[in-house]
Structure 1
Amino acid sequence: MQLTPADALVHVMVITAVSDKDVNDHELDRFAALIGRWPVFETFDLARLPEVATSCVDTVNKAGLDALLGQIAETLEPRLQETAYALAVEIATVDLTLNQEELRMLEMIRDAFAIDRLTTAAIEASARIRHRKL
């Protein structure tokens, strides 16, 4: 199945959320907030989220994570690959901790996309700053 760019971005959020095997309420709330606020999702119907998430998990189960990342990379132009990485970081950092599985997933996403290291470092620093508490 050919992914739309919006579906590919949702797939990135899903694989990041499930990377630690524990999708929590904070991550689910962040999904809805990101889809509702980021302009890149203005044509995405939030009601499709369960269908797209299921499609993502099915693809990983059938073809594997590397195949899905390759499909996402082919679907997204480079500027949207940066957006996808920013979304992954948002989902991974929502609970203010990064475990080994989440760090590994971010590394795999970085490797699959055409994003330079300076850009990924800026995205990561920006997320840390946004999620900081007093």
Structure 2
Amino acid sequence: MQPSLSHHEALIYVMVMMSAVDREMSDDEFARIGRLVQFLPVFDGFDEDSLVHIGHECSAQLAAPEGLDIMLEIVREALPEKFHETAYALAVEIAAADQRIRNEEIRLLQLLRDRLGLDKLTCAAIERGALARFRR
């Protein structure tokens, strides 16, 4: 098992997992990860130069046998409870970045919600907010 991640790394892992779940990491999704890391207060103090390295680390671990399940557990262990909703919100942001939510992304959101112990009403509110932000 991997050593414990910082909350910054765990949140980035969530975004990379969401981006990679459909086996395509689009430029829009990767650009959104970079922008979120640059301006969200939860990433204050994070060294942005390590973003690409963390993304590659996460991708490599996802490719391993049972990678997704292991990664979800690593994220759960690394994130303090106060960041569980933040992790879900970041996953929704990445899923919505390309204006299409695929079945794989919906399934990962369900897995993340269950692993982090989030209630459906809270998750629905987060999802509704993202829909409102990305509406054209």
Q: Shorter-chain TM-score: which interval?
A: over 0.9
Percent of residue pairs bearing the same amino acid type: 39
- Give the SS at the match of 1:71: helix
Question: TM-score, normalising length from structure 2?
Answer: 0.93
Q: Does 1:127 align with 2:130?
A: yes
Q: 2:93 aligns with which of 78, 90, 95?
A: 90
SS at match of 1:3: coil
Aligned residues: 133
User: Residues of 2 paired with 1:99 and 1:39: CA distance?
Assistant: 29
> Does 2:82 align with 1:76?
no
Could you say what the CA RMSD is over the residues aligned between the two structures, in angstroms? Answer: 1.1
Equivalent residues of 1:17, 1:92 under 8 A apart: yes
Q: Distance in 2 between matches of 1:71 and 1:61?
A: 15
Instruction: Trace 1:35-114 onto structure 2 (pairs within 5 A).
Output: 35-62=37-64, 64-114=67-117
* Preserved contact between residue 13 and residue 88 of structure 1 (Cα < 8 Å): yes
1:6 is displaced (CA, Å) by 0.3
What 5-or-longer segments of structure 1 have no aligned partner?
none
Residue 15 of structure 1 aligns with an amino acid whose one-letter code is: M
Deviations 1:73-132 (A, max 9, x none): 111122201100000000001111111111111111111112111110110000000011
